[in-house]
Structure 1
């Protein structure tokens, strides 16, 4: 890494380098000494095939926020002398450096409602501040990332071509996927009839993509590689998928999977505190749908990969992706059990937010 940081203008003799964080896609290091610290990151160009699109998107957003909301903390990569932010190597790919935000912390699991509320505030604020950003200027960094219509098509194709043993093992979860096809149909209707506006969406709202201060207050969002045009259901849905249950998607004991209503309230309250004044009525009416959308999509993606022989996610043990699919279908059922209650709660909180405004 010494040769890499030298290209960013750092003297290797003055800095220490160590692995940092728990990200699975990009590799990250902390570059630091007693006076200053930075984050060095290698972009996984097997996943993100167009790193320059990511760089251009972040640069455009950075310029917009600095011009319109200069007090907002937006952690953008350092620029090189030629104006770019990427160093490309022949054998190791693309690298970039971010300033390290002093006194900031990240967490990997949502432990309380305050964290859920603060994270929802931060993702909502990010999209709200960019409500007037010219969205056509942003490139797609992952095409069809949250295209549920495509994921449903891929599931049907996998079902047609899967071997008989996997089809038999997956039969009950295949039935679940077919039972809830209306979730995919609703997404198709949204896209084809342009029922929701496209916005600047983060697309990866796990809790580790929020920086907190030492007092549990949210500071900003990070990990901006998936920021691109999209629908708000991607962000609120991913929060619901990853915050609501105390058990994550790797849990094998499905009895541990539940949906915590107080965490749902925290997500809605936090997001509406920022986005309530800009959400359309059509978006409000699909707030709860956001959770169904993301949970169902991840469930059929795991199921599709199992039927395809674990060619995308891989498998740490036999039937790993089948277990993951079952986990997500169980989460979907727990979520649907409270759907009516959640709809009423969104109506109440939305009305209160509008009245307050």
Structure 2
């Protein structure tokens, strides 16, 4: 069903005490998953989101995770001298964490956090180090939350062998025309197929352990002050149990490729090892004492695996008709996938330098 915001927004606004005549509602951000709006009235300003149930099969679990993690961070960070920001949930008029509209859509409201948009931040090596530090602080602030106390927001999220299985199924069912770009992408999958299980195998062997992770710590989800200082994270939808190496790998994948994810500038895709050095320097400055030799060893594997994983997810979505990530053209996810495959190639070329960044 195609969602038309005008059909239900009035109902939802009333549920969150924002049904006044002077309310202003405008689309917010360029996220690939949820429908997000900025709501302003004379007395309040907040973010309203319709959670994409095609991505999150149990939206209420996502909201419950968000509530627990954001409250915990606020309590722990409140006793520390250095601030750490994340949005807090706004309850419905009936005291609920979320609201289900008449069409079955699940909505949640969260506080507005004043910030400088990431695309306006001057990205320097100091900025990269800040990203590493803020991610390490997130891991520290949540380390005493038992990972079993949170539900998986997406079953099997950040389990790369699972994404490979889904790709294989989608490829078998594909009946479209194989363009040269698709053939190139399929060849990339076979080249990188052996790396899919590196992190999960390390977990099975006891080298890495599951704990709470952010799940999507890319640059766009970092909260920056108006002075460009990283002080927290947006988007706790994917917060849940997992390997912190998926977080570290995803942070490096997104920050060290200045060409971005959209695939339009694939010729400019490369892994910047200088930025990698700065990010890891910041991360290990905070997490160093708790970060063992095995943790350091698997950082290279993490950034390679996560680039391959995202390429698989884009490519699978393309084969399935673009049902997960929002697109503006039919081939957009294919081009996004090719960009991530090229990034994986660049990561391989920088292996020696990346591993040197983790030396004690």
The TM-score range, normalised by the shorter chain, is: 0.7 to 0.9
| Counterpart Cα distance in 1 of 2:321 and 2:100 | 34
| Counterpart Cα distance in 2 of 1:313 and 1:67 | 34
| DSSP-derived class of the 2:118 partner | coil
| Aligned equivalent of 1:49, options 32, 42, 57 | 57
Aligned length: 347
| Aligned equivalent of 2:117, options 93, 103, 106 | 106
C-alpha spacing 1:3/1:110, structure 2 compared with 1 (3 Å): same
| Counterpart Cα distance in 2 of 1:40 and 1:253 | 32
Q: What TM-score does the superposition give when structure 2 sets the normalisation length? A: 0.85
C-alpha spacing 1:222/1:316, structure 2 compared with 1 (3 Å): closer
Whether 1:193 and 2:201 are equivalent positions in the alignment is no
TM alignment of 1:247-262, pairs within 5 A: 247-262=259-274
User: Does 50-59 or 71-80 show the bigger shift?
Assistant: 71-80
| Counterpart Cα distance in 2 of 1:310 and 1:45 | 15
User: Does 138-147 or 240-249 show the bigger shift?
Assistant: 240-249
C-alpha spacing 1:157/1:111, structure 2 compared with 1 (3 Å): farther
Which residue does 1:12 correspond to in 2?
Answer: 20
| Counterpart Cα distance in 2 of 1:332 and 1:344 | 18
Which residue does 2:168 correspond to in 1?
Answer: 156
Q: Is the 8 A contact 2:11 2:101 kept in 1?
A: no
Q: Is the 8 A contact 2:46 2:109 kept in 1?
A: yes
Q: Is the 8 A contact 1:109 1:208 kept in 2?
A: no
Structure 2 residue ranges without an equivalent (≥5): 1-8
TM alignment of 1:12-161, pairs within 5 A: 12-33=20-41, 36-71=44-79, 72-80=84-92, 82-91=94-103, 93-102=105-114, 104-108=115-119, 111-113=122-124, 114-161=126-173
C-alpha spacing 1:98/1:309, structure 2 compared with 1 (3 Å): closer
| Counterpart Cα distance in 1 of 2:122 and 2:92 | 39
C-alpha spacing 1:109/1:307, structure 2 compared with 1 (3 Å): farther
Q: Is the 8 A contact 2:61 2:153 kept in 1?
A: yes
Q: Is the 8 A contact 1:163 1:307 kept in 2?
A: no
Which residue does 1:238 correspond to in 2?
Answer: 250
| DSSP-derived class of the 1:166 partner | coil
RMSD, matched Cα: 2.7
Cα deviations by residue, 1:233-279 (Å, 9 ceiling, x for unpaired)? 21111122222122123334533112222211222122223322322
| Counterpart Cα distance in 2 of 1:231 and 1:293 | 12
| Structure 1 residue 332 displacement after superposition | 0.9
C-alpha spacing 1:34/1:197, structure 2 compared with 1 (3 Å): same
Cα deviations by residue, 1:110-149 (Å, 9 ceiling, x for unpaired)? 7513333323322221111111112211011111121111
| Counterpart Cα distance in 2 of 1:61 and 1:326 | 34
| Structure 1 residue 216 displacement after superposition | 0.6
| Counterpart Cα distance in 1 of 2:32 and 2:333 | 17
| Structure 1 residue 165 displacement after superposition | 4.6
Q: Is the 8 A contact 1:202 1:227 kept in 2?
A: yes
| Counterpart Cα distance in 2 of 1:313 and 1:13 | 34
Which residue does 1:208 correspond to in 2?
Answer: 220
